Amino acid sequence: MSTNVSTRAGRAAVSLSALAAGDAFGARLLEPDGAQAVRGRVLPPGPWEWTDDTEMACSVYAVLYRCGRVDQDALVAGFAAHYDALRGYHRATDHLLRSVRAGGDWRALAPAQFGGAGSWGSGAAMRVAPLGAWFADDVAEAARQAALSARVTHTHPDGVAGAVAVAVAAAVAARGDPLGSHEFLDEVLDHVPSGTVREGVADARALLISADPCAVAAELGCGELIGARDTVPFALWTAAKHHDDFPGALWAAAAAGVRAGGDLDTTCAIVGGVVGTRLPGGRLPEEWRRRTEPLPEWVPV
């Protein structure tokens, strides 16, 4: 694993491994002993297996590694080639990737989802943090590339905006500068198009006065609807609040997710992928790295 955080690929690889740790941690906490682990803040025994969030993020990273930008056809081909039905894909994405594998065209399939509305789910946001880290030297480009990466599966404006918000957050975090929580979300808001996700991030900014993730999640949602609108604002509140404390950020996300029953692996994947960009030396804490399932061998890290 490259940890040269001065390169685009190095920064993105760090974000990807941290996203996988968050995803796997969140998924592990959905097991029966998860609530007890959260109460005691004791990491549950490994191995922790990552889910669809990580599998798709690996394809995002691989396309950037090969092309230096989002090639939408290559991205969808990667999603379809590596799709594993046992990794917890949601039904719409499951259907889309199976259809692409059978020869379908994503340009027709993606906009047709949900009766022609397109998907407003959190699936484009959950996989995009490494892209933001890649383009940390050009935040506006991070926002543009994030939108391209989203639209191959999520064409509803909320689905796209969720990906833009997370990518910009990862880009800002990955610069590694000293960062105030309010300024962090201000920079995200500068790039997110208007709509319900942007309104949610603005609400998250106003709630930075709170220290209680459960109370904040009750206001913003924490993935109960598996939508970008009810997932991304809370995840970015958590990242902004704890941007230099990787374990603290993930425990905060977990506390709210376990209580509310939200989409815990996705919330933790987003938080991990964003906050992980600031880990000293790009290294995951050893007790997290040891428990997390390694990335697949086809990923060029």
Q: What does the binding site for Mg ion look like in residue numbers (CB under 5 A)?
A: 51-53, 88, 265
Min dist. Cβ of residue 121 to Mg ion (A): 11
Per-state percent for the chain, helix, strand, coil, to nearest 5: 65, 0, 30
Which residue's structure tokens are 């900014």? Answer: 205
Question: In angstroms, rounded to a whole number, what is the distance separating the alpha carbons of residues 247 and 255?
Answer: 12
Token readout for 105 is 């065209």
Q: Is the peptide bond before 47 cis (omega within 30 degrees of 0)?
A: yes
Q: Which is nearer to Mg ion, 88 or 221 (CB)?
A: 88
Q: Which is nearer to Mg ion, 10 or 276 (CB)?
A: 276
Q: Which is nearer to Mg ion, 88 or 233 (CB)?
A: 88
Token readout for 224 is 């109960």
Asked if 247 contacts 289 with a C-beta cutoff of 8 angstroms, the reply is no
Given CA atoms 110, 114, 119, 123 in this order, what sign does their dihedral have? negative
Q: Which is nearer to Mg ion, 55 or 172 (CB)?
A: 55
Min dist. Cβ of residue 22 to Mg ion (A): 11
Question: In angstroms, rounded to a whole number, what is the distance separating the alpha carbons of residues 185 and 205?
Answer: 6
Q: Which is nearer to Mg ion, 25 or 237 (CB)?
A: 25
Nearest residue to Mg ion on Cβ basis = 51
Can you say which residues are annotated as belonging to the binding site for Mg(2+)? 51-53, 263, 265-266
Name residues whose C-beta falls within 8 Å of residue 50's C-beta, 6 or more positions apart in sequence.
20, 23, 24, 27, 87, 265, 292, 293
